[in-house]
Amino acid sequence: MFSLIDWFVVGVYLVGTTVLGHRLRGPQTDTKDFFLGNRDVPWQAVTASSVATTISAVTFISVPALVYADGGNLVYLQFALAGIISRIIVAYWLLPRYYQDLYFSPYDYASKSLGSWSGRFASLLFLVGGVLGQGVRVYATALVLELLTGWALSQSIMLIGIFSILWTWMGGIRTVIWTDVVQFFVLIGSALFVLVFILGKVDQSWSEVLDLADASGKLDLVDWSTDPRVAMTFWAALLAMPFQNVAVYGTDQLFVQRLLCCKDETAARKAVLWSTIGEIVPMVMLAVGLLLYAFYQQYPMAAEFSILVTERSDRVFPVFILSELPAGIRGLMIAGLLSAAISSLDSILAALSQITYKLLFSDRFKIFSAVDVSRAIVLVWGLVLCLMAYAMADSRLNLIDLAFTMTTYTYGPLLGVMVMSMIGMRRGYLVIPAALVSIMLVVALNHPGLVLASKTDAGPLLAWPWLFPIGTISCLLLAYGSDLMGCYGDKLKVS
Most confident of 2-11, 36-45, 106-115, 171-180: 106-115
Give the type of residue at 62. S
**The predicted structure's pLDDT at residue 293:** 93
**The predicted structure's pLDDT at residue 92:** 94
pTM: 0.86
**The predicted structure's pLDDT at residue 230:** 92
What number is the average pLDDT over the span 141-169? 79
Q: Work out the pLDDT band at 6, boundaries 50, 70, 90.
A: confident
Residue 350 above 80 pLDDT? no
Residue 332 above 90 pLDDT? no
Please tell me the distance from the alpha carbon of residue 347 to that of residue 180, in angstroms, as a whole number: 9
Nearest CA among 488, 470, 467, 466 for reference residue 478: 470
What number is the average pLDDT over the span 219-237? 94
What number is the average pLDDT over the span 224-238? 94
Instruction: Write b or e for each residue in 73-90: b if 16 or more Cβ atoms lie within 10 A of its Cβ, otherwise e.
Output: bbbbbbbbbbbebbbbbb
The residue ranking higher by pLDDT, 45 or 353, is 45
What number is the average pLDDT over the span 91-117? 89
Residues 6 or more apart whose Cβ sits within 8 Å of residue 475:
412, 413, 415, 416, 417, 420, 431, 434, 435, 437, 438
Q: Work out the pLDDT band at 25, boundaries 50, 70, 90.
A: low
Lowest mean pLDDT among 15-24, 88-97, 286-295: 15-24
Q: Work out the pLDDT band at 292, boundaries 50, 70, 90.
A: very high
Lowest mean pLDDT among 273-277, 335-339, 454-458, 462-466: 454-458
The residue ranking higher by pLDDT, 248 or 183, is 248
Most confident of 1-5, 295-299, 377-381, 396-400: 295-299
**The predicted structure's pLDDT at residue 452:** 64
Please tell me the distance from the alpha carbon of residue 185 to that of residue 47, in angstroms, as a whole number: 12
Residue 457 above 80 pLDDT? no
Q: Work out the pLDDT band at 185, boundaries 50, 70, 90.
A: confident
Average pLDDT, the chain: 83
For the chain, list the domains and their CATH numbers: 4-394 (1.20.1730.10)
What number is the average pLDDT over the span 394-406? 79
**The predicted structure's pLDDT at residue 369:** 67
**The predicted structure's pLDDT at residue 180:** 76
What number is the average pLDDT over the span 478-489? 74
Alpha carbon 81 to its chain centroid, in Å, reads: 17
What number is the average pLDDT over the span 88-99? 93
The residue ranking higher by pLDDT, 130 or 38, is 130
Most confident of 187-196, 331-340, 388-397, 429-438: 429-438
Residue 365 above 60 pLDDT? no
**The predicted structure's pLDDT at residue 29:** 57
Q: Work out the pLDDT band at 390, boundaries 50, 70, 90.
A: confident
Residue 231 above 60 pLDDT? yes
What number is the average pLDDT over the span 341-349? 72
Residue 340 above 90 pLDDT? no
Contact (CB, 8 A) for 346 and 62: no
Instruction: Write b or e for each residue in 197-231: b if 16 or more Cβ atoms lie within 10 A of its Cβ, otherwise e.
Output: bbbeebebeeeebbebbeebebeeeebeeeeeeeb
440-446 contact pairs (CB < 8 A, 24+)? 441/470, 441/471, 441/474, 442/408, 442/409, 442/412, 442/413, 442/467, 442/470, 442/471, 443/409, 445/470, 446/405, 446/408, 446/409
**The predicted structure's pLDDT at residue 412:** 93
What number is the average pLDDT over the span 404-424? 90
What number is the average pLDDT over the span 77-106? 91
User: Which tens digits make up the pLDDT trace of 41-58?
Assistant: 889 988 988 887 777 777
Residue 490 above 60 pLDDT? no
Please tell me the distance from the alpha carbon of residue 315 to that of residue 28, in angstroms, as a whole number: 42
Instruction: Please report, rounded to a whole number, the percentage of residues in the chain having pLDDT higher than 70.
Output: 88
Please tell me the distance from the alpha carbon of residue 176 to that of residue 178, in angstroms, as a whole number: 6
**The predicted structure's pLDDT at residue 27:** 58
Contact (CB, 8 A) for 438 and 474: yes
Please tell me the distance from the alpha carbon of residue 433 to that of residue 478, in angstroms, as a whole number: 9
Nearest CA among 428, 347, 448, 455 for reference residue 50: 347
Residue 168 above 80 pLDDT? no
Residues 6 or more apart whose Cβ sits within 8 Å of residue 156:
141, 142, 143, 145, 146, 149
What number is the average pLDDT over the span 6-13? 85
Residue 222 above 90 pLDDT? yes
